[in-house]
Amino acid sequence: MCGIVGMIHAESVMTALVPALRRLEYRGYDSAGIALLDQNQLTRHRVLGVLDQLTGDMPKDWDAKTGMGHTRWATHGEPSVRNAHPHFSHRVAIVHNGIVDNFQTLKTDLLNKGYAFASDTDTEVIAHLIDLHMTQGHDPVSAFSVAIQQLEGNFAIACMISHWQDALLVARRGTPPLLVGKGPMGYSIASDALGLVDVSDHLAYLEGDSWAIVTQDSAKVYDFSGERKPLNWQKQMLHHQSCNQGDYAHFMRKEMDEQPDVIARLLSQPTPTLAQLYPDLNHVSLLGCGTSFYAAWIGKYVLEQRYGVTLELASEFSYRHAIMSPGVTLALSQSGETADTLKAVAYAKNQGQKLISLVNAPYSSLARCSDHVLDMQAGPEIGVASTKAFTAQLWLLFALAGITPDRAQHLPQSMRQALQLAPDIRRWATALADESNMLYLGRGVSYPVALEGALKMKELSYIHAEGLAAGELKHGSLALVDQTIPIIFLAPHDAIFDKTLGNIHEIIARKGRLHVITDQAGAEKMPAVGLTQCLILPDAPDPIFNPFIQTMALQLLAYYTALERGCSIDKPRNLAKSVTVE
Ligand code: AGP
């Protein structure tokens, strides 16, 4: 989704602004731009495509100490230079994340008042609205604060005004995050803590429905009624090295390799169990989107040994008006900023739920509205495809369910061994790279693992991959099985292995292209003929941890298939890392 950075420094911001924007590239974008305020003049430079084009064409002699930049992920208006931010209206420059729900009404009114629009965006109305209020006699601060209160929807915006003072006016309503940072050079703002790495040693999140005047040496924050609000400063924990790709070709590959260490770190630290946090608890609701949802689904298998469990896709949940069983809601989100999840959580809290969040961003919006926060401590996850956050989420769920670290002592080692199967999995990927469709099958807890594997394949390689419960085959999907469609079958030697084997025979009988992922004991019982491929995973320390091991193989398969196909691995087309709009 879109990214915002802004700076007011003691020296030229040019050397810091573009690197800060680069750190937000991972969020996904289609166009980018910067605007500078220098000697009362606004200048801007915008491009369609990647930041390299922006820096390539940019005048080298800009020396402004105030500036802001934006990476745009199109919502209103196609990706193009004219729709790229910043948008201008006379003395006003605006960058914006989120959506102005009532932009059409505002636009009609502004057109009637003589404003000409240079873009198809909802954002441009904000610039004209502020300009309108200034022409009607408001000073810049009051024009800004009046204008933002006319906007409906969820948004984060930053604004510069010429012929006034070197300042950034920023505002946040609802979910899109906005942070202020302070450092030796001055103040900065960003929509993501990564945008403040290297320029800020302390940072503070703006609460929803608040705005601020940021200058080189201060940030004054107000709520929408005009009351002054404090900022809650935290030490900046992210450093340049933690966002570095190292010798890896892709962030995703690095992040996959980091997983055993992430799990080892979590195992070495106490995680509270649900029984400790809420001794009388009977019911747990699980919420998340995408990969976080699949982690929740896997967690359900361990949690439901002890609690009633309801699993909900956050993007579907809020609008169903469901009556929730009293208890605790566990909300899973790597970013902690997913709009669908935040919306669902607000609904759950309204229903009186206690909220525990599992996040990789302990100061995120989700964390800040939770009763308890479990930090995944996975380090920044830059690849759009979630990998290390997924396995970290799994462990936190297992720990909440009461699984003790001693049971998982050898898990990091088993995960490392699974990652060493990369050359074998790469051979599969080479053979599968030209496919258009794939099926991923699993039974029991391997079913949500298969769903997650299929999602990874889809988002990275753009191959249509569908996850199915193997036991459901004969209820319809078996009709798809023939000699052409590859089937990735998760078949661990677990308590339901015999059932799994039955499904494998169903496929063999129809000459299906079976790629089985199993373990040593499973391999020994596999049919001697009928498998196209068989991959033997290292044993998990306990079958309960099979999802961790299987996931290593499925991530590698998606990664290498995407690599073979020449796909953009860290930034798949059309996707964003942090989905801050519903
Ligand atoms: C994962 O590979 C996806 N890119 C996506 O499904 C992601 O997990 C989802 O958007 C939820 O994000 P969150 O964990 O930050 O809430």
Q: Are 132 and 146 in contact (CB under 8 A)?
A: no
Residue with tokens 């019911």: 283
Ligand 1 centroid to 295 CA: how many Å? 10
Q: Mean per-residue pLDDT for 155-184?
A: 93
The rounded distance, in Å, linking the Cα atoms of 94 and 84 is 11
The rounded distance, in Å, linking the Cα atoms of 573 and 538 is 34
Q: Which atom of ligand 1 is nearest to the CA of 575?
A: 4
Q: At residue 41, what are phi and psi to the nearest 5 degrees?
A: -115, 140
The rounded distance, in Å, linking the Cα atoms of 547 and 139 is 59
Q: How many CB atoms lie within 10 A of CB 283?
A: 15
Examine the pLDDT at 576 and tell me if it is beyond 90.
no
| Atom 16 of ligand 1, residue of closest alpha carbon | 333
Q: Which tokens sit at 232?
A: 């809650």
Q: How many CB atoms lie within 10 A of CB 475?
A: 9
Model pLDDT, residue 24: 86
Q: Are 99 and 581 in contact (CB under 8 A)?
A: yes
Q: Are 381 and 355 in contact (CB under 8 A)?
A: no
List pLDDT tens digits, range 66-121: 999 999 988 888 889 999 999 999 999 999 998 899 999 999 999 999 999 999 99
| Atom 5 of ligand 1, residue of closest alpha carbon | 290
Q: How far is CA 412 from CA 203, 260, 518, in A?
A: 33, 4, 19
List pLDDT tens digits, range 552-565: 999 999 999 999 99
Active-site hit among 2, 159, 289, 567: 2
Domains of the chain (ranges, CATH numbers): 3-242 (3.60.20.10), 245-409 (3.40.50.10490), 418-582 (3.40.50.10490)
Q: Which atom of ligand 1 is nearest to the CA of 577?
A: 4
The rounded distance, in Å, linking the Cα atoms of 99 and 97 is 7
> Pocket around ligand 1: residues whose beta carbon is below 6 Å from it?
289-292, 333-335, 338, 341, 384-386, 459, 579
Q: Mean per-residue pLDDT for 522-548?
A: 93
The rounded distance, in Å, linking the Cα atoms of 569 and 461 is 8
Ligand 1 centroid to 386 CA: how many Å? 6
Q: Mean per-residue pLDDT for 311-328?
A: 94
The rounded distance, in Å, linking the Cα atoms of 384 and 342 is 19
Q: Mean per-residue pLDDT for 567-571?
A: 93
Q: How many residues does the chain have?
A: 582
Pocket test for ligand 1, best of 579, 580, 581 (most atoms within 8 A of CB): 579
Residue 52's pLDDT band (boundaries 50, 70, 90)?
Answer: confident
Strands 31-38 and 41-48: antiparallel
Q: Are 54 and 18 in contact (CB under 8 A)?
A: yes
Which of 59-68, 261-270, 294-303 has the least mean pLDDT? 59-68
Radius of gyration of the chain (CA): 25
Model pLDDT, residue 368: 87
Q: How many CB atoms lie within 10 A of CB 265?
A: 17
Q: Which tokens sit at 3?
A: 């990214």
Which secondary-structure segment (H or E) carries 537? Answer: strand 531-537
The rounded distance, in Å, linking the Cα atoms of 236 and 320 is 39
Query: Based on the number of CB atoms within 10 Å of its own CB, is 416 exposed (0-12), middle (13-18) or buried (19 or more)?
Result: middle
| Atom 6 of ligand 1, residue of closest alpha carbon | 290
Model pLDDT, residue 410: 96
Pocket test for ligand 1, best of 293, 294, 313, 334 (most atoms within 8 A of CB): 334
Torsion sign across C-alpha atoms 320, 323, 324, 325:
negative
The rounded distance, in Å, linking the Cα atoms of 240 and 244 is 7
* Coil/strand/helix, residue 106: helix
| pLDDT, averaged across the chain | 93
Model pLDDT, residue 242: 67
| Atom 4 of ligand 1, residue of closest alpha carbon | 385
Residue 512's pLDDT band (boundaries 50, 70, 90)?
Answer: very high
Residue 140's pLDDT band (boundaries 50, 70, 90)?
Answer: very high
Active-site hit among 65, 107, 182, 577: 577
Residue 241's pLDDT band (boundaries 50, 70, 90)?
Answer: low
Q: Which tokens sit at 50?
A: 């990647």
Model pLDDT, residue 403: 97
Tell me the one-letter amino acid at 30.
Answer: D
Tell me the one-letter amino acid at 68.
Answer: M
Ligand 1 centroid to 61 CA: how many Å? 40
Ligand 1 centroid to 291 CA: how many Å? 5
Q: Which atom of ligand 1 is nearest to the CA of 579?
A: 10
pTM across the whole model: 0.80
Q: Which atom of ligand 1 is nearest to the CA of 335?
A: 15
Which of 72-76, 297-301, 306-310, 312-316 has the least mean pLDDT? 72-76
Angle at 78 between CA 33 and CA 386, to 5 degrees: 75
Helix/strand number for the chain, H first, E second:
19, 25
Residue 528's pLDDT band (boundaries 50, 70, 90)?
Answer: confident
Torsion sign across C-alpha atoms 519, 523, 525, 530:
positive
Q: Mean per-residue pLDDT for 21-40?
A: 87
Model pLDDT, residue 240: 66
Q: Which atom of ligand 1 is nearest to the CA of 384?
A: 4
Model pLDDT, residue 318: 87
Query: Based on the number of CB atoms within 10 Å of its own CB, is 512 exposed (0-12), middle (13-18) or buried (19 or more)?
Result: buried
**Residue 92, strand partner residues:** 89, 161
Pocket test for ligand 1, best of 317, 386, 460, 577 (most atoms within 8 A of CB): 386
Model pLDDT, residue 362: 81
Examine the pLDDT at 306 and tell me if it is beyond 80.
yes
Q: Are 402 and 275 in contact (CB under 8 A)?
A: yes
Q: Which atom of ligand 1 is nearest to the CA of 291?
A: 8
Ligand 1 centroid to 561 CA: how many Å? 20
Model pLDDT, residue 75: 81
Residue 355's pLDDT band (boundaries 50, 70, 90)?
Answer: very high
List pLDDT tens digits, range 444-492: 999 999 999 999 999 999 999 999 999 999 999 999 999 999 999 999 9
| Atom 13 of ligand 1, residue of closest alpha carbon | 333
| Atom 8 of ligand 1, residue of closest alpha carbon | 291
The rounded distance, in Å, linking the Cα atoms of 179 and 238 is 14
Q: Are 153 and 171 in contact (CB under 8 A)?
A: no
Q: Which tokens sit at 282?
A: 């009977």
Model pLDDT, residue 60: 67
Q: How many CB atoms lie within 10 A of CB 304?
A: 14
Pocket test for ligand 1, best of 26, 252, 286, 291 (most atoms within 8 A of CB): 291
Ligand 1 centroid to 350 CA: how many Å? 24
Ligand 1 centroid to 343 CA: how many Å? 15
Which secondary-structure segment (H or E) carries 3? Answer: strand 3-9
Ligand 1 centroid to 192 CA: how many Å? 16
* Coil/strand/helix, residue 467: strand
Does the active-site annotation cover 577?
yes
The rounded distance, in Å, linking the Cα atoms of 17 and 7 is 7
End-to-end alpha-carbon separation of the chain, Å?
Answer: 11
Q: Which atom of ligand 1 is nearest to the CA of 456?
A: 2
Does the active-site annotation cover 369?
no
